[in-house]
Amino acid sequence: MEPMKPMAPMQPMAPMKPMAPMSPPDDSWWPEGLSNPSSSGGQNGLQYAFFPEQRRLAVSQGGQVSQYDTGEHRISGVSQQSGSGGPRFTSASGEVDLASLRKIG
């Protein structure tokens, strides 16, 4: 019987190549120029996104997107009131009817 031969040394591994940075999917539905909403959400066919830097609220209803000037309101949520006909948004200073905000464009 022959004695075992020594094992050959392992070759060093090649360094790993860095991965390309992953970018999040762009599923934003709001108009160009508005980015990074501080709050967004939706219910019952309505979507909203609030952009505090621009003081803008984007609302999508029935496939149509509208923008509103929120003034001093900082929008954080939405509720749809039965009978009132429109959504109400929650802000630090209380509830805000969409109809009370100035529509832009």
Structural domain boundaries of the chain? 39-104
pLDDT of residue 57: 93
Polymer length of the chain:
105
So what's the pLDDT on residue 101? 92
pLDDT of residue 68: 95
**How far is the C-alpha of 104 from the C-alpha of 69, rounded, in Å?**
7
What pLDDT does residue 84 have?
56
* Whether the Cβ atoms of residue 38 and residue 52 lie closer than 8 Å to each other: yes
For residue 68, give the nearest of 45, 96, 94 by alpha carbon: 96
Write the pLDDT tens digit of every residue in 38-52.
988 888 788 899 999
Per-residue pLDDT in tens (0 to 9) along the chain, 105 residues: 888 888 888 888 888 887 766 554 556 889 888 878 998 888 878 889 999 999 999 999 888 999 999 998 888 888 766 555 578 888 888 889 888 999 996
pLDDT of residue 70: 92
Q: Which of 59, 55, 52, 51 lies closest to 34, judged by CA?
A: 51
pLDDT of res. 65: 93
